[in-house]
Chain A
Amino acid sequence: MTLMQILMIVIPSTLLWAAPLIFTALGGVFSERSGVVNIGLEGLMVIGAFSSIVFNLTFVGTFGSATPWIALLVAMLAGAIFSILHAVASITFRADHTVSGVAINLLATGLTLFLVKLIYNKGETDIIKHGFSKVDIPILKDIPVIGKILFQNTYWTSFVAIIVAVIAWYVIYKTPFGLRLRSVGEHPMAADTMGINVTKMRYLGVIISGALGGIGGGVYAQSISSNFSHATISGQGFMALAAMIFGKWHPLGAMGAALFFGFAQSISIIGSSLPYLKEIPDVYLLIAPYVLTILALTGFIGRAEAPKADGVHYIKGSR
């Protein structure tokens, strides 16, 4: 097997596994930049996966090949609405952000499985007929060498994810909205003094994270798992959380980390069929994202620092 052939297998697979992680990790960036810790990313992905699969199964006859994309919008909306619960609890009701996130995760799994049994009368949904399928990206696929590796046999969603990451970077670092979002996450009292509505900004941060987490779940369900059951999303959300931290709460950093974790995940699955890589026990690849994140936090791989007021309630008048 030549290097070229190996790359042609590994890179599309990496992009496939990374796409949901990128979306969800970006969601985490928006929420935590505004100062709300979001452990509930996993639950938001579950909601996104569930709603996209149900929509896809129900409306595939109506929308045909456009179904997965519309289902993705539905997943986005569902995630955004569900995340309002986290916002209300952790911002308005001053609940501990971590506890509220845990509740979001528990609630999402319970609620979606309850609904699956209610709607389909069994433990898991059918397999969707129209998911995201492999495509060759027009024009770009004809670039010599790179075209073959990057743009053939791949998925649109991966490239959308990368574009969204760039947009997220622009929004957070180059627009007034982004500056306000970051300021309420760093020093809410100073932001409030300057006339920024801290509560509103934090609600927006959490709701955007819900929307992106929902998309992440929808992408995963429609391109990787193809149906919804209790095991569809198992740890993807936490891996996205890890990617966000490993990427130092920066949209492009989070994207890079998500790509890397996607690589580790895909190698752990397809590695056995590749030379050199099959020698590595898959356990190392499976735990790599988590161990690396711990090392990054500790400062062995460039120290990762959270926004100053991450997880801190803003109570007017208190110092």
Chain B
Amino acid sequence: MSKRLRSILTPIIAVLLGIIVGTIIMLVSGYNPVDAYTALWNGAFGDVYYTGEVIRQVTPYILAGLAVAFAFRVGLFNIGVEGQFIVGWLAAVWVGVAFDLPKVIHLPLAIIAAMVAGGLWAFIPGLLKARFRVHEVIVTIMMNYTALHTVNYIIRTKLNQGSAKTGMIHESASLRSPWLQELTTHSTMHWGIMIAIACCFIMWFLLEKTTRGFELRAVGFNQDAAHYAGMSVNKNIILSMVISGAFAGIAGAMEGLGTFGYMAVQGGFTGVGFNGIAVALLGGNTALGVFFSALLFGSLKIGALSMPLEAGVPKELVDIIIALIVFFVASSYIIRVVLDRFSKKGVK
């Protein structure tokens, strides 16, 4: 079996296995899977409103997925997307609230602020990895909680507008569009999806078509070889974390400037960062793969909201399915072994 075919088959099999186990769980718990999946489908694509919601949900997923994928390609595991996302969200909202500028300046400025905030938040684990060889997984986890508590503190004490949230951003920093909302019968869809798609393209171009991207990938493949070829491993490690964090920051800006228009005190993590890991893994850490798997997870998440009412099935079923998909993708070794065995039998 060719490598290319296998790399496409593995995620598809993982998704199928996830859905099969999800079905078994529903059968065991006495729910009707057909009703549930029908509700899920209609809840995602049954109406133009739902499609708008799906696109809105897919937007941060794409960017969070790109963030995780970008670091993965350089051999780093950025679990800290959640923290960088939160920091970016706050930065974007802060710029949106604090300044009064024409839209052509204000909106890009807010997004850049989010990029910078996310990038800086990821710079720390990158620097520690490069300078002290500290494992980035642990540092980024710790940075997640640091971000959560710090951001909550800033909202409560500095940006508070009476309730536990910031003020609304000015219209000139908003990604919302009455036209898009009208088009999707008043969904919360906004222009962010264009930015997300552009970022997919940027990631592909950066990694595949530039010298810098070649260096980054080389470090990901083999640090020693890259070092021997005269590339600065440390510089590339830091750079990749910063770019990854910038993507995560933009994802936060999508929530701040598009979906909500403000930021509230967060009781816990939003889950976007962790779903980003699922998105990146399923998408094989490529820009195109991330796009499609974000589409899948976004539809699942939005579709799930209709399941309790339409089929009486708790929406958490979808979280179980997503977790299972991550499991099966992670265990792709065993899927590959089985595939190889089958294809060998076919040859004989």
Contacts of A89 in B (CB 8 A): 327, 330-331
B138 pairs with A245, CB closer than 8 A: yes
**Interface SS, B side:** helix
Chain B 325-340 residues near chain A, CB threshold 8 A = 326-327, 329-334
A297 pairs with B134, CB closer than 8 A: yes
Contacts of B332 in A (CB 8 A): 95
* 7 other A-B residue contacts (CB within 8 Å) besides A106-B278, A106-B323, A230-B268: A111-B316, A114-B317, A114-B320, A118-B29, A286-B149, A297-B135, A299-B132
- Which of B134, B152, B326 is within 8 Å of A103, CB to CB? B326
- Assembly CA distance A290 to B83 (angstroms): 13
For residue B346, CB closer than 8 A to chain A, the reply is no
Contacts of A37 in B (CB 8 A): 137
A281 pairs with B153, CB closer than 8 A: yes
| Stretch binding the partner chain, chosen from B49-57, B139-147, B159-167, B288-296 | B139-147
- Assembly CA distance A26 to B141 (angstroms): 19
B268 pairs with A231, CB closer than 8 A: yes
A107 pairs with B142, CB closer than 8 A: no
- The digit string for A230-245, where 1 denotes a CB below 8 A from any CB of B, is 1100110011011001
Interface size class of B (residues with CB under 8 A): 35 or more
For residue B254, CB closer than 8 A to chain A, the reply is no
Chain B 277-332 residues near chain A, CB threshold 8 A = 277-278, 281, 314, 316-320, 322-324, 326-327, 329-332
- Which of B128, B145, B157, B274 is within 8 Å of A287, CB to CB? B145
Chain A positions within 8 Å of B, measured between CB atoms, are 37, 39, 85, 89, 92-96, 98-100, 102-107, 109-111, 113-114, 117-118, 230-231, 234-235, 238-239, 241-242, 245, 281-283, 286-287, 290-291, 293-294, 297-299, 306
- Which of B142, B278, B327 is within 8 Å of A293, CB to CB? B142
- Assembly CA distance A286 to B268 (angstroms): 13
Contacts of A92 in B (CB 8 A): 334
Contacts of B77 in A (CB 8 A): 96, 98
For residue B150, CB closer than 8 A to chain A, the reply is yes
- The digit string for B9-50, where 1 denotes a CB below 8 A from any CB of A, is 000000000000000010001000000000000000000000
A290 pairs with B142, CB closer than 8 A: yes
Contacts of A94 in B (CB 8 A): 331, 333-334
- Assembly CA distance A241 to B317 (angstroms): 28
- Assembly CA distance A282 to B324 (angstroms): 38
- The digit string for B196-237, where 1 denotes a CB below 8 A from any CB of A, is 000000000000000000000000000000000000000000
A93 pairs with B334, CB closer than 8 A: yes
12 contacts between A and B (CB under 8 A): A89-B331, A93-B333, A102-B326, A110-B316, A111-B316, A117-B316, A238-B144, A238-B145, A283-B152, A294-B124, A294-B128, A297-B128
B135 pairs with A117, CB closer than 8 A: no
Contacts of B251 in A (CB 8 A): none
A287 pairs with B150, CB closer than 8 A: yes
B135 pairs with A107, CB closer than 8 A: no
B319 pairs with A106, CB closer than 8 A: yes
Contacts of B319 in A (CB 8 A): 106, 109-110, 113-114
**Interface SS, A side:** helix
Query: Given A109-B319, A114-B316, A118-B29, are A294 and B142 also a contact pair (CB < 8 Å)?
Result: yes
Among residues of B, the one whose C-beta sits closest to the C-beta of A106 is: B323
- Which of B139, B267, B277 is within 8 Å of A294, CB to CB? B139
Query: Given A110-B316, A114-B314, are A39 and B268 also a contact pair (CB < 8 Å)?
Result: no
Among residues of B, the one whose C-beta sits closest to the C-beta of A235 is: B145
Contacts of A114 in B (CB 8 A): 25, 29, 314, 316-317, 319-320
- Assembly CA distance A288 to B330 (angstroms): 33
B142 pairs with A106, CB closer than 8 A: no
Contacts of A93 in B (CB 8 A): 330-331, 333-334
| A-B pairs with lowest CB-CB distance, top 10 | A110-B319, A107-B323, A106-B323, A95-B330, A93-B331, A283-B153, A290-B142, A117-B314, A103-B326, A110-B320
A298 pairs with B323, CB closer than 8 A: no
- Assembly CA distance A37 to B141 (angstroms): 14
B138 pairs with A99, CB closer than 8 A: no
- Assembly CA distance A39 to B150 (angstroms): 23
Query: Given A106-B274, A231-B267, are A99 and B281 also a contact pair (CB < 8 Å)?
Result: yes
Contacts of A290 in B (CB 8 A): 142-143, 145-146
For residue B66, CB closer than 8 A to chain A, the reply is no
- Which of B150, B323, B331 is within 8 Å of A283, CB to CB? B150
For residue B79, CB closer than 8 A to chain A, the reply is yes
- Assembly CA distance A281 to B149 (angstroms): 11
B311 to chain A, nearest CB (A): 13
